[in-house]
Amino acid sequence: MRRLSRLRLYLVNPFNPLVSILNVRENVWNQFRVWKPLSLLVIAGLTPDEWEVTIFDENLGVPDYAALPRPDLVGITAFTSQANRAYALSAEFRARGVPVVLGGIHVSMRTEEACARADSVVIGEAESVWHQVLTDARAGALEPTYLGSWEALGDRPPARHALLPTGYRFGSIQLSRGCPLACSFCSVSQFNGMRYRSRPVAQAIAELRQIPEKLVLVVDDNVIGTSRQHVAHAKELFRAMADAKLGKRWMGQATINVADDEELIELAARSGCFGLFIGFESPSREGLEEIGKKFNRVRDRDLRASVRRLQRHGIMVAGSFVLGLDVDTEGIGRRIAEAGDAYGVDLLNVLFMTPLPGTRLWDTLAAEGRIVANTFPEDWQYYTLTFPVAQHRHLSWSRMIDEMNDTTRVFYSYGRIARRALSSLWRTRGLFAPFVTVATNLSFKLNGQLDRRTWRGLDLDRGAPVVAVPQPEA
């Protein structure tokens, strides 16, 4: 029974129907690509017991909020592509007299826009200010904004992983934050700072034990960091995870540097790592220069050998690429697919070059007047990285879509999927890795079809290239 003195807090992860990765009804394989909304579990962990917390992940279904007990406070998080749903939800609750606090990366980068649509906005990381938000909410005196600081990741309660119902294949955890680099398309350094901060090992192990799911996504942007000390910390963490016999299999993200250290790879594998997303970003040196991704520009790095070293330890490699850079010309879709195949990656994750607020790319394209989907907040729904939203130098929007279709068609042909699964079976001599390879490959292939359906509504004429493609003379 609800204690009379307890206040009711709803935390909501808004949905975006245009994000095909979340559509589990139409693509059953997507259940292997959906994880618990970690930021809300973290906020729940920071919330004192006088508040009764309920989390709603709209990706699992949108509840009838009006039929539920009236909350005392609502907190809504949002990536850019979720922003207009977050604002609509905020309006719905505020119309009922419920105060709403918005947080997350989008509202931190577009604070003025968010302030006009909520009672309060948390800018940056919430840990340092959340208690004050709750105290002020209780007193009916919310400030318009709260500015979070970049604190050490040591003293904080664990995320409340058990708050959400089962129905997720993947639990999630964050073990580090921040990045000293500033790749043009990335806002991590703006949001989490340029200093890499790691969780203490014992605290990380204690929280991992609380995650009910066997599969875990480590959401860090780079699990190994960028310096020798960071790598030493990662080794200590992986060793402790292995010794703790957690019985978890985990996936994460890292730079290609992870493949340079045999001991690091071995410890990662022993700790349960079965897959890493690695940003290759572009098949061309000019593309890497454009993005500013330092690690990948090391001369003479043998990317195929790097991928093989990880795979020899049973770690799948998911290669991420960006399509639509200024250097990209006709045929880039196939070139990316062929590069992924040449590197020997198990999965290919290709996203449209998208200027997200808070990135250098946004500043550049905005200054050049090249942001085409610019009716905000409505157009934020297209900032899923699966829609063209800006003007590209050499490619029109319809050409971009053709290129993306080419990538999917070439890399995810049934023949190539079968070859990858067999190769994974040969390498690992077990069924887990080949199964994951097939499940994730089919997920990407079917999502390509779902994306094609959502692209049908786009006004392709809006996205003419900056440098017009020469037309044959009449």
**Residue from 62, 147, 181, 460 in contact with ligand SF4 (CB under 6 A):** 181
Q: Nearer Cβ to ligand SF4, position 257 or 329?
A: 257
Contacting residue, 74, 86, 121, 186, with ligand SF4 by CB under 6 A: 186
If the CB atoms of residues 55 and 179 are measured against ligand SF4, the closer one turns out to be: 179
Rg, the chain, Cα only = 22
30 binds ligand SF4 (CB under 6 A): no
Q: What is the strand order of the sheet 249-254 is part of?
A: 170-173, 215-218, 249-254, 273-281, 316-323, 347-352
Q: Which of 85, 86, 53, 91 is nearest to 72 (CA)?
A: 53
In this structure, are residues 193 and 178 in contact, taking their beta carbons and an 8 Å threshold?
yes
Stretch that binds ligand SF4, among 180-188, 325-333, 337-345, 374-382 (CB under 6 A): 180-188
**Closest CA relative to residue 99, chosen from 134, 73, 133:** 73
Residue type for position 299: R
Q: 288 is written with which tokens?
A: 């890497």
Tell me which stretch binds ligand SF4 (CB under 6 A): 134-142, 160-168, 175-183, 231-239. 175-183
Q: Does 222 bind ligand SF4 (CB under 6 A)?
A: yes
Residue placing its CB nearer to ligand SF4 in the complex, 255 or 329: 255
- Site membership for ligand SF4, residue 385 (CB under 6 A): no
* Secondary structure of residue 270 in the 3-state scheme: helix
Per CB under 6 A, which region of 24-32, 183-191, 346-354, 420-428 contacts ligand SF4?
183-191
Peptide bond into 283 cis (omega under 30): no
> According to the 3-state scheme, what is the secondary structure of 380-424?
HHHCCCCCCCECCCCCCHHHHHHHHHHHHHHHCCHHHHHHHHHHH
Given the rule CB under 6 A, which of 3-11, 15-23, 133-141, 174-182 is the region that contacts ligand SF4?
174-182
Please, which residue, 35 or 185, has the CB nearer to ligand SF4? 185
188 is a contact residue toward ligand SF4 (CB under 6 A): yes
Residues in the chain: 474
User: What is the distance between the alpha carbons of residues 267 and 273, in angstroms, rounded to a whole number?
Assistant: 9
For residues 45 and 287, which CB has a smaller minimum distance to ligand SF4 in the complex?
Answer: 287
Measured between alpha carbons, how far is 396 from 469 in angstroms, rounded to an integer? 9
Minimum CB distance to ligand SF4, residue 180 (Å) = 8
Q: Let me know the angle formed at the C-alpha of 180 by 177 and 186, rounded to the nearest 5 degrees.
A: 75
State yes or no: residue 351 binds ligand SF4 (CB under 6 A). no
Restricted to residues 280-309, the positions that interact with ligand SF4 (CB under 6 A) are 293
- To ligand SF4, the closest distance from the beta carbon of 282 in angstroms equals 12
Give the nearer residue to ligand SF4 in terms of CB position, either 119 or 290. Answer: 290
DSSP 458: S
> How crowded is residue 159: how many other Cβ atoms within 10 Å of its Cβ?
24
Rounded to the nearest whole angstrom, what is the least distance from the CB of residue 169 to ligand SF4 in the complex?
Answer: 25
| Residue among 160 and 360 whose Cβ is closer to ligand SF4 | 360
The nearest distance, CB 191 to ligand SF4, in angstroms, is 10
| Minimum distance from residue 253 beta carbon to ligand SF4 (Å) | 8
Query: Shortest Cβ distance from residue 123 to ligand SF4 (Å)?
Result: 20
Question: What is the x/- site pattern for ligand SF4, positions 242-281, by CB under 6 A?
Answer: -------------------------------------x--
Short-list 175, 133, 178, CA closest to 154: 175
Phi and psi at 353, nearest 5°, equal -60, 120
- Coil, strand or helix at 223: coil
Could you give the CA distance from residue 378 to residue 76 in angstroms, rounded to a whole number? 17
Tokens found for residue 159: 């995320």
Q: How far is it, in rounded angstroms, from Cα 51 to Cα 48?
A: 6
Three-state DSSP class for residue 234: helix
Interface with ligand SF4 includes 183 (CB under 6 A)? Answer: yes
- 243 by Cβ neighbours in 10 Å (0-12 / 13-18 / 19+) ranks as exposed
Tell me whether residue 181 or residue 425 sits nearer to ligand SF4 (CB atom). 181
The nearer residue to ligand SF4, 30 or 192, going by C-beta atoms, is: 192
Place of tokens 């454009």: 290
Of 25-33, 135-143, 168-176, 186-194, the segment contacting ligand SF4 by CB under 6 A is 186-194
* Least distance in angstroms from the C-beta of 376 to ligand SF4: 23
- Would you count residue 221 as binding ligand SF4 (CB under 6 A)? yes
Element (H, E) at 171: strand 170-173
Q: How far is the CB of 251 from ligand SF4 (least distance, A)?
A: 16
163 versus 182: smaller Cβ distance to ligand SF4: 182
**What token pair was written down for 225?**
């960091």
Is 182 a residue that touches ligand SF4 (CB under 6 A)?
yes
231 three-state secondary structure: helix
User: At closest approach, how far in Å is the CB of 186 from ligand SF4?
Assistant: 3
Q: Which stretch binds ligand SF4 (CB under 6 A): 2-10, 92-100, 178-186, 433-441?
A: 178-186
- State the residues that interact with ligand SF4 by CB under 6 A: 179, 181-183, 186, 188-189, 221-222, 279, 293
